[in-house]
Amino acid sequence: MIIGTAGHIDHGKTTLVRALTGVDTDRLPEEKQRGVSIELGYAFLDVPGSDQRLGFIDVPGHERLVHTMLSGATGIHHALLLVAADDGVMPQTREHLAVLSLLGLQQGTVVVTKTDRAEPARVAAVVAEATALLAGTPLAGAPVLTVSATTGGGLVALRERLFDAARHHAVAAPAGAGFRLAVDRAFTLGGVGTVVTGTVHAGQVQVGNELLLVPGEHRVRVRSLHAQNRVVTSAGAGERCAVGLVGVEKTQVARGQWLVTPAVALASDRFDATLTLWPAETRPLRTGTPVHVHLGALAAMGTVAVLAPEVLAPGATGRVQIVLRAPVGVWHGDRVVLRDASASRTLAGGVVLDPLAPTRYRRTPQRLAELDALAGASSTERLAALLAQAPQGVDLLRFAAAQGLVAPVPPPATGLRQTDARTDWALSAAATEAACDKLLVVLATFHERHPEELGPDAARLRRLALPRLPEPLWRALLGHLQAQGLVAVRGAFVHLPAHGVRLSATEERLAQKLGPALAEAGFEGAWVRDLARNAAEPEPLVRVTLARLAQQGELHQVVKDLYYPQATVARLVGLARDVGAGAGGEVTAARFRDATALGRKRAIQILEYFDRVGLLRRVGDVHRLRSDSAWLAPAQT
């Protein structure tokens, strides 16, 4: 269990920790000289009769160091709120209590210190004052103990209180959680190298594991571990941990970064959260308010966008989006605290719902319903509710990473599930039915308006019917409808089974006559004028016949009047895939020209056609293979 001190400057936090543990947490020369804590300090205490060890985080009390206090407070399980008997409740007592409350901390003890410096009546008055201060906060009803670190009075009772809390403390650890440590300190140790310390927020780590530092995704390996100030081979959630790392220098690590399992590594510059404005605030929180954002061990500047309601009144809770100046590590369930732009007071606190929040449609009823779904009690409940509210489906890999889980959460019975080596998408049964209905209506309308065409190509149909449906689910939807016999797919074109472009007897005759010439044209393709001249047929008739064959999916018109048969295009697709496979997915005109022995102009024309039909995507001066494209897949060729 991690215990954090809180309270006004010079109310005896460091002295009390030293009296409880025998460890002086002031380690910096300036702290020794001034008698004031500037940085976070750490100490440990064994729980009698068990293998548990309490970890103490001693935070600064000065108002200018609340940001440092916050970097330590986000990982604690039990708060020690100190009030000096000679001073009573002071400004930082109130702000530290606000911080603890906004972090959702419900376990704590109030300690009235320096009782040797005050008369019994004064001590009793401060106890009453502290008890009243807790009213209306999550710590209401917490015991108030009196101690003197100098004389030792009350220390036995305080230790027993902490030991009892530790015996009843259990860290909630969701199954499959990836390791996450909030880095609050980095240093170099002789014989070990770079060491980072922090509180483990989730998961387990072992010596030898590979981890990532995020943001930045610097890959490192665990050389050694200390948990709760003991040498260990593994450490887990709820422990103070020091990790010796291989593969990174001290200068490459900063407070606020996270050390995480690679499967859950992510960074975002905006996240949606449930936020409560502190009741003592005098003004509502509005969109556009600049704030200091405290998350894990990080302090960063950001801006608030209030989603619902339109403004957040003091004491009220609502949905907000926090927009940061740079990406940070953030996951669902993380606690966040906001301070005002001048960092003079604590404003609000809450819980992260979606660490990968959208930039558009963020206030729509649809989006707000998704945020309600993400407020569920467990990842399984959240996923089920989210699927029910997601007409465009849910990316299960993204969802798992955002939840801090190393593997996707098994979805409930769904309408569609599209899984491959890189993607895993699910669409609810209701959303699948709605998408099918929409696609069939759009396709029928297309046939009514363009009866002479076989149908739109798959990419065009997606733009017409379901432009926001992710590509993997679009492919799954087409396959689902095709398997049911509700649509037919011929080449790149999609049509209703009852609809087809039929050739006249003359066109059938001409198609058979032109077939050999089209096949012999090879990679150069065949021009309408050349085919008409060589076949001694009218050019207009040849042009109409070839266009109808293209509508049927039997030919491909790469540019106007230049045609290729299906078999030839399949070979060109295979060459494009081979070129891309050997160059990280990039298909340049030069490499494709060399592979096909074509001239540069014709190679570019073919690549641009592949862009149009969805095999490739143009990025700058190169064409990239679309990993989500099944156009003329090997099984079809």
| Statement to judge: residues 319 and 349 lie in one domain | yes
**Which residues face 292 on adjacent strands?**
301, 339
Flag whether 422 is in a domain.
no
Rg (CA), the chain: 33
What φ, ψ does residue 433 adopt, rounded to 5°? Answer: -60, -45
What φ, ψ does residue 352 adopt, rounded to 5°? Answer: -70, 130
| Statement to judge: residues 280 and 361 lie in one domain | yes
What φ, ψ does residue 120 adopt, rounded to 5°? Answer: -50, -40
What tens digit of pLDDT does each residue of 405-436 get? 999 988 887 789 998 878 899 999 999 999 99
DSSP 375-406: TSSSHHHHHHHHHHT-TT-EEHHHHHHHHTBS
| Statement to judge: residues 135 and 200 lie in one domain | no
| Statement to judge: residues 459 and 552 lie in one domain | no
What pLDDT, on the 0 to 100 scale, is given for residue 23? 80
Flag whether 250 is in a domain.
yes
What CATH number does the domain containing 191 carry? 2.40.30.10
| Statement to judge: residues 71 and 121 lie in one domain | yes
Do β-strands 2-7 and 78-84 pair in parallel, antiparallel, or remain unpaired? parallel
| Statement to judge: residues 480 and 509 lie in one domain | no
Neighbouring C-beta atoms of residue 131, cutoff 10 Å: 15
What pLDDT, on the 0 to 100 scale, is given for residue 401? 95
Sign of the CA dihedral with 265 first, then 266, 272, and 278 last: positive
Tell which of 116, 137, 167 closes a domain.
Answer: 167
Flag whether 383 is in a domain.
no
Flag whether 394 is in a domain.
no
Do β-strands 240-246 and 193-202 pair in parallel, antiparallel, or remain unpaired? antiparallel
Neighbouring C-beta atoms of residue 453, cutoff 10 Å: 18
What total number of domains does the chain contain? 5
Helix axes 13-21, 155-167, angle to 10 degrees: 80
**Letter string b/e over residues 465-476, b meaning 16 or more CB atoms within 10 A of that residue's CB:** bbeebbbbbbbb
| Statement to judge: residues 450 and 595 lie in one domain | no
8 A C-beta contact, residue 290 and residue 303: yes
Flag whether 398 is in a domain.
no
8 A C-beta contact, residue 84 and residue 146: no
| Statement to judge: residues 185 and 99 lie in one domain | no
DSSP 242-265: EEEEES--GGG--TT-EEE-GGG-
What CATH number does the domain containing 85 carry? 3.40.50.300
What pLDDT, on the 0 to 100 scale, is given for residue 630? 56
8 A C-beta contact, residue 616 and residue 610: yes
Mean pLDDT of each 10-residue bin along the chain, 637 residues long = 84 86 61 44 82 79 52 78 92 87 89 93 94 92 93 93 87 81 90 90 94 92 91 90 93 93 95 95 95 90 96 96 96 93 89 95 94 94 94 94 93 86 90 96 92 82 93 92 91 82 83 93 95 93 88 86 94 92 88 94 93 84 75 48
| Statement to judge: residues 142 and 15 lie in one domain | yes
Tell which of 167, 190, 217 closes a domain.
Answer: 167
8 A C-beta contact, residue 517 and residue 535: yes
| Statement to judge: residues 226 and 147 lie in one domain | no
**Which residues face 303 on adjacent strands?**
290, 323
What is the Cα–Cα distance from 357 to 367, expressed in whole angstroms?
10
| Statement to judge: residues 31 and 113 lie in one domain | yes
Flag whether 248 is in a domain.
yes
What pLDDT, on the 0 to 100 scale, is given for residue 71? 64
| Statement to judge: residues 543 and 564 lie in one domain | yes
What is the Cβ-side half-sphere exposure of residue 442, based on CA atoms within 13 angstroms? 18
8 A C-beta contact, residue 177 and residue 202: yes
Tell which of 111, 140, 167 closes a domain.
Answer: 167
Helix (H, G, I), strand (E, B) or coil at 634: helix
**Letter string b/e over residues 481-517, b meaning 16 or more CB atoms within 10 A of that residue's CB:** beeeeebbbbbbbbbbeebebeeeeebeebbeebeee
What CATH number does the domain containing 584 carry? 1.10.10.10
What is the Cα–Cα distance from 117 to 123, expressed in whole angstroms?
9
Token pair of 155 as six digits? 């220390």
- Say if residue 293 is exposed, middle or buried (CB neighbours under 10 Å; 0-12, 13-18, 19+): buried
Flag whether 426 is in a domain.
no
- Say if residue 381 is exposed, middle or buried (CB neighbours under 10 Å; 0-12, 13-18, 19+): middle
- Say if residue 396 is exposed, middle or buried (CB neighbours under 10 Å; 0-12, 13-18, 19+): buried
29-to-35, 36, 72, 184, 506 alpha-carbon distances in Å = 10, 11, 21, 19, 98
Domain range for 103: 2-167
Flag whether 382 is in a domain.
no
